[in-house]
Chains A and B, each alone.
Chain A
Amino acid sequence: MKNEQEQALDRWSAKHIKEAGVEQPSSDFTAQVMQAVEKASEKPVLVYKPLISRIGWLCIAFTVCALLAYTLFTSTSLETSIGVSRSVEQQLEQLTFLPLDLEWQVPSSLTYGMLAVALWMGLEISLGKKRFQ
């Protein structure tokens, strides 16, 4: 008996739900979905491009090598000393008078090199900013 009633309710529900039917979305539904789908399927336009090109790196390497060679083969005597066997007291004593005795000898090539690097960095930063903006 209960089973029959359940079946009756089932038939009754089916009738009404089918009567209610399906709802119609807006007429441009498919177009809107496809627009979103096409946007999602597009491959990213941004292609990786190094900030410094291969030629740029070659130029930098060449400049560094040239500067290094110039420093090695053209610079005059540049003495360095490392106090290995000195006692701590002697070292401290030395340190006390260090600012007075020290004479800075910066080779001109190093100065030019540093200037070139600073110039290059400034140029790269400004160019980089321009590109990303």
Chain B
Amino acid sequence: MNHPPDHIIIEKTLGGDVNAFAILVDRYKQLVFTLTIRMIKQREEAEEIAQDVFLKAFQKLQSFKGDSKFSTWLYRITYNACLDALSRKRNSPTHHAYEIHDNVLSITTPEIEAQIDAQYERAEVVQCIALLPQADAFLITLYYLHEQSLEEIAQIIGLTKNNTKVKLFRIRKKLFIIMQSRLPQEIKMRYEK
């Protein structure tokens, strides 16, 4: 099956073939929607925002100069759209505050990791990610799922590469604590003895 690169489709779209844009929508809709739902945490609203993201991308396509990857540019639009939506909502945060201690890593053992791995199904992992603060959930998904480089992520969220690295490390720890805290009590007690 022929998969034309992004820049070819962009050229076609800008040349007047509006339907060519559908290829880009199909190519990135899952990733954009996943990022949106991780941040917004509400399916219907996330879908509306994701659709708006593509519409904005289409309207601003002329301004895309190709300095970065199309996906990086698109994720930046997604991130800003989510931030706008969250600032409009001004609801109380939907995540719980989890304290991060420096000794988190020292208390983890391969056994606990193995227990977590065995315990968690996909849906539960998704629930744990949803407990992360909105921007953190976005960031960690972008890094691991979309395999964006640190430079690209820094560009998307407007931070330096080093800050992004530190932020990612803290998010990983938060996710680990969340998953660990949701383990059944008996498993935790077994390792605390």
Which residues of A are at the interface with B, using a C-beta cutoff of 8 A? 2, 5-6, 8-10, 12-26, 29-30, 32-34, 36-38, 40-41
Q: Which residues of B contact A9 (CB under 8 A)?
A: 105, 108, 169, 172-173, 176
Counted as pairs of residues, one from A and one from B, with CB atoms less than 8 Å apart, the total is: 100
Residue of A nearest to B31 (CB): A22
Q: Which residues of A contact B37 (CB under 8 A)?
A: 23
For chain B, residues 151 to 169, give those with C-beta under 8 angstroms from any C-beta of chain A.
169
Separation of A66 and B169 alpha carbons in the complex (Å): 88
Q: In the complex, which of the residues B51, B122, B172, B175 contacts A29, with contact meaning CB atoms closer than 8 Å?
A: B51
Residue of B nearest to A20 (CB): B125
Q: Are A23 and B30 in contact (CB under 8 A)?
A: yes
Q: Is B145 an interface residue (CB 8 A)?
A: yes
**21 A-B contact pairs sorted by A residue (CB < 8 Å):** A2-B105, A5-B105, A9-B172, A13-B144, A14-B144, A16-B120, A18-B145, A19-B122, A21-B145, A22-B30, A22-B145, A23-B37, A25-B30, A25-B50, A29-B50, A33-B54, A34-B19, A34-B22, A37-B54, A37-B55, A40-B59
Q: Are A22 and B140 in contact (CB under 8 A)?
A: no
Q: Which residues of A contact B55 (CB under 8 A)?
A: 33, 36-37, 40
Interface size class of B (residues with CB under 8 A): 35 or more
Which residues of B are at the interface with A, using a C-beta cutoff of 8 A? 18-19, 21-22, 25-26, 29-31, 33-34, 37, 47, 50-51, 54-55, 58-59, 105-106, 108, 113, 117, 120, 122, 125-126, 128-129, 140-141, 143-145, 169, 172-173, 175-176, 179
Separation of A32 and B53 alpha carbons in the complex (Å): 12
Q: In the complex, which of the residues B18, B113, B125, B179 contacts A41, with contact meaning CB atoms closer than 8 Å?
A: B18
Residue of B nearest to A16 (CB): B125
Residue of A nearest to B50 (CB): A25
Separation of A37 and B59 alpha carbons in the complex (Å): 8
Residue of B nearest to A2 (CB): B105
Q: Which residues of A contact B144 (CB under 8 A)?
A: 13-14, 17-18
Q: In the complex, which of the residues A2, A15, A21, A37 contacts B58, with contact meaning CB atoms closer than 8 Å?
A: A37
Residue of B nearest to A17 (CB): B144
Q: A29-B33, A34-B25, A38-B18 are in contact. Are A10 and B47 (CB under 8 A)?
A: no
